[in-house]
Amino acid sequence: MKPYALLSPEERKEEYARLQAEYNALKAKGLHLNMARGKPGTQQLDMVSDIFHLMHKPEDFFSDGIDVRNYGEMAGIPAARRLFAEILDCKPEQVFVGGNASLQLMFTTISTAYTHGMLHSPRPWCREEKVKWLCPSPGYDRHFRITEAFGFELITIPMTDSGPDMDAVEEAVKDPAVKGIWCVPKYSNPDGIIYSEETLRRFAALSPAAPDFIIMWDNAYCIHELEGDYVPFPDILSLCAGAGRPDMVFEFASTSKITFPGAGISCFACSEDNLAYMEKLLSIQIISFDKVNQQRHVLYLKNKAHTLELMKKHTDILGPRFRCVVDALEQKIGPLGIGAWRRPTGGYFVSFNAMPGTAKRALALCGEAGITMTGAGATFPYGRDPQDSNIRIAPSLPPVEELRQAMEVFCVCVKMAALEKLGI
């Protein structure tokens, strides 16, 4: 196989005809496969379903003397706060444990800033002339949608191998209308990049013009290694506090990919002043979150060491899926020079960059052949990838055999789109 760029027009035509035949044959199989979202597969769900065998004995309903079945403990049961604090390497008093969705806690933080302002806000953000928000891209579409929904102007920050381009971030925060930034610091969504210590240091040292600038630190994959041992990661709360800005960061985490997506527990961690402020406002909307589920998770996960053991079992299930995807790319796309990607060491995605101007077309072809993927452009603000290149692949849901088929289709589609772009 030669790189496509070196093919003659005739060779491109021949190759395209061959691919078209292959595509039609695959299409005829009537596949229905999904690599769109970071959903765990059934094997992962079954593995943790014994969590529901807990909570049988009367004493299981009590934690630190609190009856977890009744109202109360707005910030979560102390044992759940301790568990997340151990995992995130911060203090229990900095942790607020919520419901089943960290996304909802993130939304609530932004929504609160919009309707009431944050601790250091001169006014609620809905009273600001304009609010701008930094979006390292490629990034997580659901993050971008939250800030888009409140009418903020989304500003793309390029991603580098060590995290967001910090020169660009430091420049951008000089604008007082810039109120915050989205970050997935460990195994970034979708690139799988771990922010470097230098990046973390520069984040903590930021001196934004806006007094109420927030770093939204979504540590979604904090213990989600795909190979090898747990990789320790510095605590951003201490770093910001050390730099004299303890209130600049809100960290988020959940057990959505430890126990159940949608039936786990979530948290945010922040300075104690921020926590007191948020708790007061949250108490307007809810009496307390589901403490029975918090207690169930405390009994099941026990502590960080025990949780890391469980994560290794997830890795055993996920590892072959990720290898299947990356191997397919290496074998089928690599030699052709029409795509770039990383082999992620953690997280839930493979980020694939197709030849500029071909991502949409490739995914349209995938769709016709029954393969559902995250929409092209989704990893950029407003769903618009200026290069039309980035495609987020989510290998977690389908079993390996289905993934293999899906990747076969995917690679054919990427190739066809590339040839169409080069001219056939």
Report the residue number, 76 or 164, with the smaller CB distance to its own copies. 76
Report the residue number, 321 or 421, with the smaller CB distance to its own copies. 321
Distances (CA, A) of 371 to 236, 345, 366, 367, 368: 39, 25, 5, 5, 7
- Cβ at position 404, least distance to its own copies in Å: 22
- Cβ at position 380, least distance to its own copies in Å: 17
Q: Tokens 């989600």 — which residue?
A: 224
φ and ψ of 86, to 5 deg: -65, -45
Site of interaction with its own copies (CB under 8 A): 37, 39-40, 42, 45-46, 49, 52-53, 55-56, 58, 61, 67-72, 99-101, 103-104, 107-108, 111, 114-116, 126, 142, 145-146, 149-150, 260-263, 281, 284-293
- Cβ at position 62, least distance to its own copies in Å: 11
Report the residue number, 36 or 231, with the smaller CB distance to its own copies. 36
The total number of residues shown for the chain amounts to: 424
Sheet holding 339-341, edge to edge: 339-341, 350-354, 390-393
Report the residue number, 24 or 42, with the smaller CB distance to its own copies. 42
Report the residue number, 189 or 199, with the smaller CB distance to its own copies. 189
- Cβ at position 287, least distance to its own copies in Å: 6
- Cβ at position 39, least distance to its own copies in Å: 5
Parallel/antiparallel/unpaired status of strands 33-35 and 371-373:
parallel
CB 416 within 8 A of CB 365: yes
- Cβ at position 88, least distance to its own copies in Å: 22
- Cβ at position 283, least distance to its own copies in Å: 9
Cα 80 to chain centroid, rounded: 22
Please compute Rg for the chain using Cα positions: 23
Q: Tokens 């934004």 — which residue?
A: 208
Report the residue number, 119 or 231, with the smaller CB distance to its own copies. 119
Cα 92 to chain centroid, rounded: 24
- Cβ at position 254, least distance to its own copies in Å: 11
Tokens of 381: 């603000």
φ and ψ of 379, to 5 deg: -85, 5
Report the residue number, 59 or 161, with the smaller CB distance to its own copies. 59
Report the residue number, 129 or 229, with the smaller CB distance to its own copies. 129
Q: Tokens 């079992």 — which residue?
A: 313
Tokens of 418: 């590339």
Report the residue number, 101 or 168, with the smaller CB distance to its own copies. 101
d(CA 216, CA 185): 10
| Identity of residue 361 | R
d(CA 44, CA 395): 13
φ and ψ of 67, to 5 deg: -80, 110
- Cβ at position 103, least distance to its own copies in Å: 6
CB 346 within 8 A of CB 221: yes
